[in-house]
Amino acid sequence: MSTELLQIFWSFGIFVIILAVIGLYCLLATYNLIRALIGLEILIKAATLSIIVVGYVTGRMALTQALVVTFITIEVVVMAVAIGVVLGIRHFNDSLDTRKIRNIKG
Amino acid sequence: MSVINIILLSILIVGALWTVLTRSLLRAAIALAFTSAIVAALMFRLDAPLAAVFELSVCTGLISVLFISTISLTYPLSQEEKLQHMQVRMQRFRWLPVIVVALGIGLSLMTVKFTLPALAPQTQSDMRLVMWDLRPLEIFGQVVILLSGAFGVIILFKEAGKK
């Protein structure tokens, strides 16, 4: 593999790592459920971009595009169900704050 | 690495920071759509047009609509609550820009030498052929996931409606 391709891989890698850190920080530091989902979404963006970059560098764009399409489908379903759960929680607790969810009994 | 890619990646990071640090949830959802659009533009630049179209239509369009409709279903905070909430939130998020800048400088100064493992032989060069010929089970899986998601949402709203 050429040095130029590896350089592209590392240059994108730096930004992908930063994007993943932003998503992870948002996920860890927030108490709002919708903001947590937004953080998760940013993390997923970082993962998607990294898959595409690897496909570009290795020259296997067909396979990576197929993977990313599947990934996006799963992402949408996860988001739709998570938003349904969040709305259910808000309905029972009147709040989106994770600290106020006290009625989950297991 | 072209300059346009670097500019797009920088805008992507700024968009992600805007998404996380902005005050209102509505603006965060719009900023997320903007970030998705930049990711789609990067995919176009990296010769992945079909994935980019998916990203643009589904992540920028559908997920933004989902988020904005969810936010419209929740109560807005009063002005005093919002101010108080913001002060507390800013305290928690004050380290994020510092971490991002430090990480960016640290990683760009790092000289990483690595070699990727040997590649598997290329089977198909067209994404449609990969989807339909090589991975037909994946399409079946996608249909099952979509159906389970749809039924999951229906059940969640049904239960909420009953109570």
Per the DSSP assignment, residues forming a β-bridge with A32 are A97
| pLDDT reported for residue A1 | 63
A90 touches B at CB < 8 Å: yes
The answer to whether B58 and A77 are in contact (CB under 8 A) is no
| pLDDT reported for residue B9 | 94
> Binning pLDDT at 50, 70 and 90, where does residue B90 land?
confident
For residue B32, give the nearest of A24, A90, A43, A97 by alpha carbon: A43
State how far the Cα of A67 lies from the Cα of A48, in Å rounded to an integer. 9
DSSP-assigned letter for residue B23: S
State how far the Cα of A42 lies from the Cα of B39, in Å rounded to an integer. 10
Among the residues of B22-126, which ranges form H helices? 25-45, 49-54, 63-73, 79-93, 95-109
For residue B136, give the nearest of B148, B124, B128 by alpha carbon: B128
A16 vs B73, residue with greater confidence: A16
Q: What is the mean pLDDT of each run of 10 residues along chain A (106 residues)?
A: 81 94 93 92 94 90 90 93 89 81 68
Burial (CB < 10 A; 0-12, 13-18, 19+), residue A23, is: buried
Task: Report CB contact under 8 Å: A59, B35.
Answer: no
**Closest residue, chain A, to B57 (C-alpha):** A72
> Binning pLDDT at 50, 70 and 90, where does residue B43 land?
very high
In this prediction the pTM is 0.89
Per the DSSP assignment, residues forming a β-bridge with A97 are A32
The alpha-carbon radius of gyration of chain A (Å, integer) is: 18
B90 vs B63, residue with greater confidence: B63
Chain B residues close to A62, C-beta within 8 Å: 124-127, 129-130
A3-100, which class in CATH?
Answer: mainly alpha
Burial (CB < 10 A; 0-12, 13-18, 19+), residue B78, is: exposed
| pLDDT reported for residue B119 | 74
